Structure 1
Amino acid sequence: MSGTSFLDVFRRKKKNSSDFIPTGFLGIFEFDIETIRAATDSFSHVIGLGGFGYVYKGRLQSGEEIAVKRLFGSSTRSKIDFRNEIEILSKLRHKSLIHLLGFCSKQDQRCLVYEFMPNSSLQSYISDPHRDSHQLSWEMCRNIVQGIARGLRYIHEESQLWVVHRDIKPSNILLDLEFKPKIAGFELARMMQQGESEGESTVIAGTIGFLDPEYMRTGRVSNKSDVYAFGVTILMIISRRRAFSSGDEESLIEHVMRCWNRGDAIYVVHEVMREQERENSISEILRYIHIALLCIDENAETRPTIDKVLHWFSCCSTPLPEPTIGNRFLVEAETNLSFSPSLSPGHSSVMSPTSSRYGD
């Protein structure tokens, strides 16, 4: 591995470059571009694509497998997102978060180097028609959901950084060799001030279908925004349906609410899972659907915290409140946003709010 300490990186960059990389990043290295090119065979093995760039598989000279995200563009926004992810991930350590090994910021190249996740993203098991959906049993799904929740509790409450991820979705949940989840995609994440539960944003950032309706209305972001996206993710895992729909297609939340209101929540569950799981597992799956509906409550104040959600997961005898979600505003908002070129379904992006009253 070719790397240096971040103190040395900072001193050199402060002297030779205006592309400021903050200090204090323990265990994160700066790679030179030649090392990255050699490790990825000149960026030849694409394993992913997101709104921020391509992801390549690589192998260091030590034999360690890595994933390299090569960021698109050279805009001020992309530079901010790049520095933001380095700053946040360098300060976070949890088994349910992706481990950032280092970065490269040379010769107009910006790359992030992560540990390699052999089972790709959760999204690939939900939407890829060529992948065997039988691989994800309910036991595996339950462990994935609980692992995501523990990762969110860590960044929301336990890390003392009070981080809001702002882009929780299946494509940002990576799976290791044992199908344990790791939250990735921290480009849009935001650190709150100590004791601060929410903040205002100058841009609406995230992915259509996962955006908290209150956040879209007001521009105020909080850890409850992550809870909302987490609820949508649970429903995707159970139903194997897309979060966002186009045209006359019924959206995920419309489908779930229709089934729930008719007393047919069992039809939210993907048919393969319905056929393969035992009755006690189906009962637990229905409870998780109920919890997901509480997570996507349009009112952030009555939406549960992630700690409350974990309590509901572990204490199956605890009664759950009735969901109060309506979906009129959500459907209207998604219809309006679907025509915005800067915020497209399935890809993280940012857009200017409709009013300049939002502050930073």
Structure 2
Amino acid sequence: MAVALLLNRVFRRRKKKSTESISTYAVYEFDFDTIKAATNKFSNLIGRGGFGSVYKGRLQSGQDIAVKIYFTSSIRAEREFHNQLDILSKLRHKNLINLLSFCTKRDQHCLVYEFMPNSSLDRFILDPHRASQLSWEMCRNIVDGIACGLRYLHEESGSWVVHRDIKPSKILLDSDLKPKIVGFGLARMMQQGQNEAESTEIVGTVGYLDPEYMRSGRVSVKSDVYAFGVTILTIISRREVWSVDGDTLIEYVMRCWNRGEAIDVIHEVMREEEREDSISEILRYIHIALLCIDEDAETRPSIDKVLHWFSCFSSPLPEPFIGNRFLAEEETYRSWSLSLSPGHSSLMSPISSR
């Protein structure tokens, strides 16, 4: 039976706690029995996180799905569920995960997504065997797709969304290795025309967190630009952000750039197998990534500007600013890492460098 016969279009108004507004969820709602049947009684576990578990399933229409069931006993899980639902129900783009449905029946909180057969980007680039299957053309298409998704969030969606946790594990790959941004539990919608806003807590992943956001507690689209820059470097180097011969990935890249040896940032397999013109393009992407992680958020490019640089190879690039202050920012990261788990999303109180 077609999906349309299983579902009724609903617009739910759920009154949240006093700190939250009433949201309209313009997505299909499944009943819990439908989800239970589609997942064969939740028999195929494909992922587990701090707030819930993810199961693979299949609808009667034949469409494969991923179902995330939240631990409703957690206040943060409840908040993430509603944030994902509230934001993703308003968004549609080829480089964003498609939210198909939700369920809040029988004290269960579930979100139903399209299924991504190639899992997350980090599992590709950090697995030597799978990483060897990624040519530069594939990597470039992934990077460009992520940028297109971010431009939609920042400028085209009408919701002015800041993701706040961009990193390789938040990028899923479909059967054609096309990227889709996921993980909107920490995302924030801005007011129309608003570039930044105060945040009562610092959220994100250490190693991808914008240093200026960490200092000031002000969230902006430029924080996503910073995390995107780190993601580009991770894809090209195929290294963890915290395990490069005792240096962070950013420190390593900076030192290579200062020595005029940016080519060393490129993973050795890619460096050996790609043509000279591809190597030149990869070096340009490294240059752009360094501009994205400028320590001054004001001088970072917009995602739209980054996409222009990607598509127009003849367009000149400004020199990245690399100074002693940047290394001081890395020391700030190190002090934070003593109490946080690098690579995992975290929630913190704002700090000030003043």
Query: TM-score, normalization: structure 1?
Result: 0.90
Percent identical across equivalent pairs?
Answer: 68
Once the two structures are superposed, what CA deviation does each residue of 1:47-95 show, in whole Å capped at 9, x if it has no partner? 2344443322111222210011222452332212211111111111111
SS in 2 for 1:94: coil
SS at 2:132 equivalent? helix
How far residue 44 of structure 1 moved from its aligned partner, in angstroms, is: 2.7
The separation in 2 between residues aligned to 1:211 and 1:157, in whole angstroms, is 21
Judged with a 3 Å threshold, the aligned counterparts in structure 2 of structure 1 residues 260 and 78 are, in CA distance, closer, same or farther, namely: same
Q: Is the 8 A contact 1:208 1:244 kept in 2?
A: no
Summarize the Cα distance change of 1:168–1:106 in structure 2 as closer, same or farther, 3 Å threshold.
same
1:224-278 CA-partner distances (Å, limit 9, x unpaired): 00000000000000000012349x7221101111111111111100011011100
Q: In structure 2, how many angstroms separate the alpha carbons of the residues matched to 1:298 and 1:52?
A: 32
Q: What do residues 119-166 of structure 1 show as CA deviations (whole Å, max 9, x unaligned)? A: 11111111234x421221100110111111111111101112111010
Instruction: Name the counterpart of 2:169.
Output: 171
Name 2:145's counterpart in structure 1.
147
Deviation at 1:339, TM superposition (A): 2.6
Q: Distance in 1 between matches of 2:136 and 2:301?
A: 23
**Match for residue 213 of structure 1?**
211
The counterpart of 1:6, out of the listed 3, 10, 27, is 10
Is 1:55 aligned to residue 59 of structure 2?
no
The answer to whether the 8 Å contact 1:21/1:83 transfers is: no
The answer for unaligned runs of 5 or more in structure 1 is: 356-360
**Cα–Cα, structure 1 residues 257 and 4, in superposed 2: closer, same or farther, change >3 Å?**
same
Kept in 2, the 8 Å contact 1:66–1:116? The answer is: yes
Distance apart, 1:308 and its partner CA: 0.7
In structure 2, the residue matched to 1:337 is 336
Conservation of the 8 A alpha-carbon contact between 2:199 and 2:217: yes
SS of 1:54's partner is: strand
Partners of 1:199 and 1:111 lie apart in 2 by: 30
Asked whether the equivalents of residues 121 and 171 of structure 1 are also in contact (C-alpha less than 8 Å), the reply is yes
Q: Is the 8 A contact 2:30 2:103 kept in 1?
A: yes
Matches within 5 A, 1:79-98: 79-98=78-97
In 1: Cα distance, 2:222 partner to 2:297 partner: 6
Name 2:276's counterpart in structure 1. Answer: 279
Q: Aligned partner of 1:24: which letter?
A: T
The one-letter amino acid paired with 1:146 is: D
Equivalence for 1:307 = 304
Count how many residue pairs are aligned between Structure 1 and Structure 2.
346
Aligned AA (1:337): W
The aligned runs of 1:287-302 (5 Å cut-off) are 287-302=284-299
Report deviation, 1:331: 2.0
CA distance in 2: counterparts of 1:245 and 1:50, whole angstroms:
23
Partner residue of 2:25? 25
How many angstroms does 1:189 deviate by?
0.7
Q: Retained in 1: the 8 A contact 2:72–2:108?
A: no
| CA distance, structure 2, for counterparts of residue 42 and residue 18 of structure 1 | 32
User: Which amino acid is 1:268 matched to?
Assistant: V
| Partner deviation per Cα, 1:199-246 (whole Å, 9 max, x = no partner) | 111111011111000000010010000000000000000000012349
CA distance in 2, matches of 1:330, 1:56: 40
TM-aligned CA deviation for residue 347 of structure 1: 2.0
Secondary structure in structure 2 of the residue aligned to 1:102: strand
Structure 2 alignment gaps of length 5 or more: none
Give the Å deviation of 1:101.
Answer: 0.5
Deviations 1:12-52 (A, max 9, x none): x67xx9899955333x2222222222222333323234444
* CA distance in 1: counterparts of 2:215 and 2:120, whole angstroms: 30
Instruction: Tell me which amino acid in the other structure corresponds to 1:314.
Output: S
> Structure 1 CA distance, aligned partners of 2:43 and 2:248?
36
Give the letter aligned to residue 250 of structure 1.
D
Q: Distance in 1 between matches of 2:92 and 2:173?
A: 17
- Per-residue CA distance 1:261-298 (angstroms, 9 max, x = gap): 11111110001101110000000000000000000001
Which moves more between the two structures, 73-82 or 155-164?
A: 73-82
CA distance in 2, matches of 1:251, 1:221: 24
Is the alpha carbon distance of 1:101 and 1:316 closer, same or farther for their aligned partners in structure 2, counting shifts above 3 Å?
Answer: same
> For residue 358 of structure 1, what is the aligned residue in structure 2?
none
Q: Distance in 2 between matches of 1:226 and 1:270?
A: 24
Distance across 1 between alignment mates of 2:51 and 2:130: 28
- Alpha-carbon distance between aligned partners in 1 of 2:210 and 2:247, rounded to the nearest angstrom: 19
Corresponding residue of 2:227: 229
Q: 1:232 is paired with a residue of what secondary structure?
A: helix
Aligned-partner Cα distance in 1 for 2:255–2:301? 22
Q: Which amino acid letter does the alignment assign opposite residue 77 of structure 1?
A: R
**Would the aligned equivalents of 1:201 and 1:219 in 2 still touch at CA under 8 Å?**
yes
Kept in 1: contact 2:216–2:351 (CA 8 A): no
